[in-house]
Structure 1
Amino acid sequence: MILHDLISFEMLRLIWWFLMGVMLIAFAMTDGFDMGVGALLPFAGKTDRERRVIINTVGPVWEGNQVWFILGGALIFAAWPMLYAISFSGFYFAMFLILAALILRPVAFKYRSKREDPAWRSRWDWALFIGGAAPALLFGVAVGNVLLGLPFHLTPDLVAMPDTGPLMRFLGLLNPFSLLCGVVSLALLVAHGAGWLVLKTTGAVQSRARKFGERAALVALLGYLLAGLWLAFGIEGFHYAAPILHDGPSNPLIHPVTRSASWLLAYSERPWITIAPVLGLAGCLISWLALRSGRELAPLLGTKLAIFGMISSVGLVMFPVILPSATDPASSLTVWNASSSHLSLFVMLVAACFFLPLIMIYTAWVYRVLWGKVSEDDVDDPELHSY
């Protein structure tokens, strides 16, 4: 028996769908609080020393946190090549803006401290704000558009063809439902960043972070509820129109998908997935209550729980669909029709089983070493903090 046959094609597809979710959740849990801290920087810090405190809470870890973003992109490219090709072309301008903001952020981190001129530092502070807030908003907008479906169809040769021009594709992303998802994403990551600042700072910075975090957690909670109601009563879902071939060839055109009454029909088919939105709502509520009651660790843990629940709820509701087509449902990509080959998935799984634990162990070690609060006295010592 060939080694890769020990794990069926069906199981490998499920494993890589699961790992894709793990990467997205890990990215949001780690780099998410970096973005939230950046979005809070001009508001939680009023003086240069306070803003330096805020920057130095994420200074040692922000680069490592982006590993999950890189891993997620590589995973999609290797395990779901059609998903990578269609989503990156469909979200081209949005991806450009996200990458521009993510590139702006490290430049701001490095350049801000090069001059003591207040105007110079203020400009880079706002660059950090853009580098945090813009990706947080646009990632949510992207999720909203995935739920709605992208305007594309596949030719008989499996070439993805957009059904609108580049400008209209970009403007089409800015629809009311997707903007609501963007607001939820931004609010959740701002609350996540506030939770991090409450844990890592003291005094006025911590107090302001609590205030903004409370509001953000409440906005995320109410926005998520509204988005759920919108999905239930205003947006059609997608489902298979025929029996599913779980281990068949990766050809969407022989696995027909059609529209359904609502995405939320998945809850009647798989009631156990209700736990995901419950965790999302509970996480927001825990964070809000913890911020109000003066806790330090609980707000951050609450937002991490909310991130896990909200991202999981999207993946579980959509399963097995991963990228629906709004204009030609039969071209939609699913777990069963858009993966790489059996051998490719197996070889990548062997590599992942070796490297993922190393990355997780190293990340945990870094956070353990860098545990503790950052004070204004600390940032005055160049041997302790460099930003």
Structure 2
Amino acid sequence: MILHQLIDYDTLRLIWWVLLGVLLIGFAVTDGFDLGTGTLLPFVAKNDMERRIVINTIGPVWEGNQTWLILGGGAIFAAWPPLYAVSFSGFYLAMFLILASLILRPVGFKFRSKRDSDTWRAGWDCALFIGGFVPSLIFGVAIGNVLQGVPFRLNSDLRIFYEGTFFGLLNPFALVCGLLSVAMLVMHGSAWLVLKTSGPVAERARKYGVLAAVTTIVLFILAGLVLWLGVDGYRITSTIDRVGPSNPLAKTVTAETGAWFANYASHPWLLLAPVFGVVGAAGAYLGLKAGREATILSSALSIFGIISTVGVAMFPFILPSSIDPRSSLTVWDASSSHMTLFIMLVVTAIFIPLIVMYTSWVYRVLWGKVEEAAIKDESGHAY
């Protein structure tokens, strides 16, 4: 027996759908508090030392956290080539804004303290805020557009034609999803600052986090209601070939209002995903209100629930087409070959545990609060 045939093609496709979700959630949970902390920087820190304290809570760990984003992009490229082609070309300007904003973060960390100038430092503080806020917003806007369907089509040769515009992405529902993303990550960043700081910074973070947690719940419920009542979902109406060659045009699809809730109706236990989203945010609200350091576990649960809600609702779709539903990409018809998925699974099974172990070790070494005295005593090593 050929080695890759140890796992069925349809099972490998399903495994990679789960892994893609794991990588996205891993990025949102780990780098999410970096983005949230950057967004909070101008609001929770009122002087230079307080800003240095905030920056030093994420400065040593952001690079490792961003590994999950790189892994997610690599997984899309290797496991779902059509998804990579459509999303990275169709969302080109949005991706450019995200990357440009993320580039500001390491540059801001490195250059902020190179000159003893308030104007100089204020400029880099603004850059760090942009590096947190803009990606948080655009990631949510992208998810909102995916739920509505992306304006692309495939011709008979499976060539991809994207017919949307950048400003077309900024529609009302997508902006609601963008604001939900910002609120969710600000909540997570607040929980991180409560864990890693003390004094006025932690107190201000706690207050902003309480507001962000309430906003997360309200916007999550609002987005769900709009999705149910006013946004068309997609449903496959033909026979699904789970082990056939990847050809999105070999199916028929219809757009129907409320179709994104069909999986929940068929499998009610999947409602645990949105429940986790709301319960986690409610737990973060209570934990932040009480000033509990373990609140970050609740905010992480909320992130897991919110992202899982989207993935479960859309399954088996991974990128629906709003102008030609038949061209929509699904788990069963947009993947790489059987052999490629198997080889990538072996590689992933080796490297993800290594990354998790290394990341765990780093957090253990850096455990504890960032204090003013430590920054002054270790000025050569602190940001």
Mapped partners of 1:273, 1:90: distance in 2: 31
Cα shift at 1:384: 7.3
CA contact (8 A) 1:255 1:337 kept: no
2:313 to 317, 328, 336: 317
| Superposed counterparts of 1:15-164, under 5 Å | 15-164=15-164
SS of the residue corresponding to residue 377 of structure 2 reads coil
Task: Quote the RMSD (CA, aligned, Å).
Answer: 0.9
SS of the residue corresponding to residue 246 of structure 1 reads coil
| Superposed counterparts of 1:1-387, under 5 Å | 1-164=1-164, 169-262=165-258, 263-298=260-295, 300-382=296-378, 385-387=381-383
Cα shift at 1:257: 2.1
Relative distance call for 1:147 and 1:354 in structure 2 (3 A) is same
Mapped partners of 1:366, 1:258: distance in 2: 48
Mapped partners of 2:38, 2:374: distance in 1: 20
Cα shift at 1:139: 0.2
SS of the residue corresponding to residue 114 of structure 1 reads coil
Mapped partners of 1:256, 1:110: distance in 2: 52
Mapped partners of 1:364, 1:344: distance in 2: 30
SS of the residue corresponding to residue 87 of structure 1 reads helix
Relative distance call for 1:383 and 1:45 in structure 2 (3 A) is closer
Mapped partners of 1:18, 1:162: distance in 2: 27
CA contact (8 A) 2:38 2:129 kept: yes
CA contact (8 A) 1:198 1:296 kept: yes
Mapped partners of 1:344, 1:328: distance in 2: 28
CA contact (8 A) 1:98 1:134 kept: yes
Q: Mind listing any 5+ residue stretches in structure 2 that lack a counterpart? A: none
Cα shift at 1:138: 0.4
SS of the residue corresponding to residue 380 of structure 1 reads helix
CA contact (8 A) 1:153 1:160 kept: yes
Cα shift at 1:252: 0.2
> What TM-score, normalized to structure 2?
0.98
Mapped partners of 1:90, 1:381: distance in 2: 49
Cα shift at 1:123: 0.7
SS of the residue corresponding to residue 250 of structure 1 reads coil
Mapped partners of 2:22, 2:378: distance in 1: 37
CA contact (8 A) 1:201 1:373 kept: yes
> 1:193-225: per-residue Cα shift (whole Å, max 9, x none)?
000000000000000000111111111110000
Which residue type is aligned with residue 336 of structure 2? S
Which residue type is aligned with residue 18 of structure 2? F
Cα shift at 1:383: 5.8
> What TM-score, normalized to structure 1?
0.97
Relative distance call for 1:104 and 1:383 in structure 2 (3 A) is closer
Cα shift at 1:343: 0.3
CA contact (8 A) 2:230 2:257 kept: no
CA contact (8 A) 1:378 1:385 kept: no
Mapped partners of 2:82, 2:231: distance in 1: 25
Which residue type is aligned with residue 162 of structure 2? P
> 1:76-126: per-residue Cα shift (whole Å, max 9, x none)?
000000000001111111111000000111111110010111111011001
Which residue type is aligned with residue 148 of structure 1? Q
> 1:12-59: per-residue Cα shift (whole Å, max 9, x none)?
000100000000000000110000000011110001000000000111
Mapped partners of 1:221, 1:302: distance in 2: 13
Mapped partners of 1:149, 1:331: distance in 2: 11
Mapped partners of 2:163, 2:293: distance in 1: 49
Q: Structure 1 vs Structure 2: percent identity of aligned residues?
A: 59
Mapped partners of 1:257, 1:270: distance in 2: 21
Mapped partners of 2:291, 2:324: distance in 1: 51
Mapped partners of 2:124, 2:380: distance in 1: 22
SS of the residue corresponding to residue 113 of structure 1 reads coil
Cα shift at 1:385: 4.0
Mapped partners of 2:305, 2:156: distance in 1: 38
CA contact (8 A) 1:378 1:384 kept: no
Cα shift at 1:296: 1.5
Mapped partners of 2:381, 2:287: distance in 1: 29
Q: Mind listing any 5+ residue stretches in structure 1 that lack a counterpart? A: none
